């Protein structure tokens, strides 16, 4: 909305310049080419305005879907960009990344695959059932149980099949270990991807911050230039066309600054997403 507002101001200044150029052309002070060039600038700004309106409508429809409302009935009130960006922590600790759903899912998959190895190995050790045919009063104690004359070991076929299964259990262990290695590789790749996304967002924020500081200086200089042009126009030293041109340059610099601020906010959202939904600065004040 702020960029659209600034573009509307640029359009007004360009339209004013077009009218002044037309007057100068009719007076023989400007050529038809000058007027055509100014008209082209007006048309280009109008096209940019339509593109911005389309982007706003698309963002509005996306917000409607995210909020569970029908897109045709959802309207977002106009507003300005926040003056301040979210405060960043001095460092992004790795434990913040563990809150990401993809990392949590990959970690649980790796743990489950690791558990499967233990299950496969457990097949080597069947449950052995002690089944005494007769347990009298003399065998009720654990020490007496194994000395009971009538004790029958119920190992039977289960243990025999487990120990002599033509490599089936060994193959199951190999399969479980391969699954664990695959889950481990997937987990590692997921973590690396999360670290990359976090670093990209941080780099974007740092780069945009440097660009914004430079653009702040450009806006201050354009404000001074426009103020001087106004003074010269009132004193009859500059034409109205020069004043309109200075106003266009001032608004164009402000629009670029608004774009950089929007980029910083978008990069902040990207960092929030990369960190799994935000952060808490628990450091002492």
- Per the domain annotation, does 259 fall within a domain? yes
Contacts of 240 (CB under 8 A, 6+ apart): 16, 20, 233
**Are residues 263 and 200 part of one domain?**
yes
- Per the domain annotation, does 95 fall within a domain? no
Q: Residue 172: how many CA atoms within 13 Å on its side-chain side?
A: 16
**Are residues 247 and 189 part of one domain?**
yes
**Are residues 190 and 65 part of one domain?**
no
C-alpha–C-alpha distance, residues 60 and 77, integer Å:
10
- Per the domain annotation, does 37 fall within a domain? yes
Asked if residues 231 and 190 have their Cβ atoms less than 8 Å apart, the reply is no
Please, what is the angle between helix 32-66 and helix 2-26, to 10°? 160
- Per the domain annotation, does 8 fall within a domain? yes
- Per the domain annotation, does 84 fall within a domain? no
**Are residues 208 and 70 part of one domain?**
no
Position 201 scores a pLDDT of 85
Query: Which stretches within 74-167 are classed as H helix?
Result: 94-97, 101-122, 142-145, 156-163
For the chain, what is the domain count?
Answer: 2
Q: Could you list the residue range(s) of the whole structural domain that residue 8 is in?
A: 1-74
Position 251 scores a pLDDT of 92
**Are residues 231 and 113 part of one domain?**
yes
Domain end marker among 74, 89, 117: 74
First vs last C-alpha separation in the chain = 36
**Are residues 2 and 124 part of one domain?**
no
C-alpha–C-alpha distance, residues 135 and 148, integer Å:
8
**Are residues 217 and 118 part of one domain?**
yes
**Are residues 108 and 68 part of one domain?**
no
Mapping DSSP to helix (H, G, I), strand (E, B) and coil, where does residue 282 land? coil
Helix and strand counts by DSSP (H, E) for the chain: 8, 2
Position 167 scores a pLDDT of 67
- Per the domain annotation, does 11 fall within a domain? yes
- Per the domain annotation, does 62 fall within a domain? yes
**Are residues 225 and 117 part of one domain?**
yes
**Are residues 269 and 186 part of one domain?**
yes
C-alpha–C-alpha distance, residues 163 and 166, integer Å:
9
Report phi then psi at 130, rounded to 5: -85, 115
Position 192 scores a pLDDT of 84
The CATH number assigned to the domain holding 114 equals 1.20.1600.10
**Are residues 182 and 272 part of one domain?**
yes
Please report, in tens digits, the pLDDT of each residue of the chain (285 residues total). Answer: 788 888 899 899 989 888 988 988 888 888 888 889 889 989 999 998 999 889 888 888 888 888 888 888 888 777 777 777 766 654 445 667 777 888 888 888 888 888 877 767 665 555 444 444 444 444 444 444 444 443 444 444 444 455 555 666 678 778 788 888 888 888 888 888 888 888 888 888 889 989 999 999 999 999 999 999 999 988 888 888 888 999 999 999 999 999 999 898 888 888 888 877 755 554 443
Nearest C-alpha neighbor of 3 from the set 65, 49, 37: 49
- Per the domain annotation, does 141 fall within a domain? no
**Are residues 117 and 36 part of one domain?**
no
Distance of CA 219 to the CA centre of its chain: 30
Position 216 scores a pLDDT of 93
């Amino acid at each position: 909305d702020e960029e659209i507002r600034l573009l509307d101001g640029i359009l007004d200044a360009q339209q004013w310049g077009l009218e002044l150029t037309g007057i100068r052309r009719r007076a023989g002070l400007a050529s038809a080419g000058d007027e055509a060039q100014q008209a082209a600038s007006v048309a280009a700004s109008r096209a940019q305005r339509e593109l911005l309106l389309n982007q706003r409508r698309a963002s509005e429809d996306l917000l409607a879907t995210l909020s569970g409302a029908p897109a045709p009935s959802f309207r977002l009130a106009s507003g300005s960009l926040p003056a301040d960006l979210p405060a960043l922590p001095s460092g992004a600790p790795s434990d913040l990344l563990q809150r990401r759903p993809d990392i949590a899912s990959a970690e649980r998959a790796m743990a489950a695959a690791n558990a499967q190895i233990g299950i496969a190995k457990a097949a080597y050790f069947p449950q052995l059932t002690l089944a005494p045919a007769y347990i009298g009063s003399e065998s009720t104690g654990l020490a007496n149980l194994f000395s009971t004359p009538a004790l029958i070991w119920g190992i039977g076929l289960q243990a025999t099949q487990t120990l002599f299964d033509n490599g089936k259990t060994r193959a199951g262990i190999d399969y479980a270990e391969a699954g664990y290695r695959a889950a481990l590789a997937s987990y590692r790749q997921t973590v690396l991807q999360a670290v990359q996304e976090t670093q990209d967002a941080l780099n974007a924020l740092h780069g945009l911050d440097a660009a914004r500081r430079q653009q702040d200086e450009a806006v201050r200089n354009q404000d001074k230039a426009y103020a001087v042009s106004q003074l010269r126009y009132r004193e009859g030293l500059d034409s109205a066309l020069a004043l309109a041109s200075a106003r266009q340059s001032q608004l164009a610099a402000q629009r670029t600054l608004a774009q950089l601020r929007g980029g910083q906010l978008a990069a902040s959202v990207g960092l929030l997403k990369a960190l799994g939904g935000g952060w808490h600065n628990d450091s002492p004040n």
